[in-house]
Amino acid sequence: LQKLIHLLQATDDPLIQEQVLITLSNSAAFSVNQDIIRNLDGLSVIGGMLSNCTPKVKEKALNALNNLSMNIKNQEEMQVFITQVCRTVESAPLNSDVQLAGLRLLTNMSVRSDYHQKMINSIPCFLHLLSEGTERTQIQALKVLVNLSANPAMTRHLLRAQV
């Protein structure tokens, strides 16, 4: 895992980055690896890939973070990426793999109410996706909205959202 994280930092080759992110994502399916990746500063390295211009690299980074978000300590460190992930969902082509990967990550990050405030500005986008997206996009957007709606503090923001 350490060598993979270093390789991800060292290369500018999108094909290598994509393969490393896939491997890290698969490794993150195991809870012991989630802790190891966090302790090796892998969360910030993978999070750094969110600003990559290559859509496949960005998608694979979102998938890896999604798997890593199943760990509460990882979520605490990953909260710094929520605003960027929301912007990615908003700016990605409608129904794209990048948009879906971002929505899946936001679904996991919104299970607990700790980070709902960071998603407020994206509520209109989620509602737009609910009406304009394909069934897969609608389901993912709905999952985020359901998680947000479980928090009474979000009621006002959900009802006031301009769509």
37 and 15 share one domain: yes
Which of 59, 78, 97 terminates a domain? The answer is 78
| Grouped pLDDT means (10 residues each) for the chain, 163 residues | 97 98 96 97 97 96 97 97 98 98 98 96 97 97 97 95 83
Residue 44 contacts residue 1 (beta carbons within 8 Å): no
Indicate which CATH number applies to the domain containing 13.
1.25.10.10
pTM, full prediction:
0.96
Cα separation, 113 vs 22, whole angstroms: 29
Identify the domain containing residue 49 by its residue range: 1-78
88 and 123 share one domain: yes
Which of 25, 43, 78 terminates a domain? The answer is 78
Cα separation, 57 vs 143, whole angstroms: 24
149 and 109 share one domain: yes
Phi–psi pair at 13, nearest 5 degrees: -80, 115
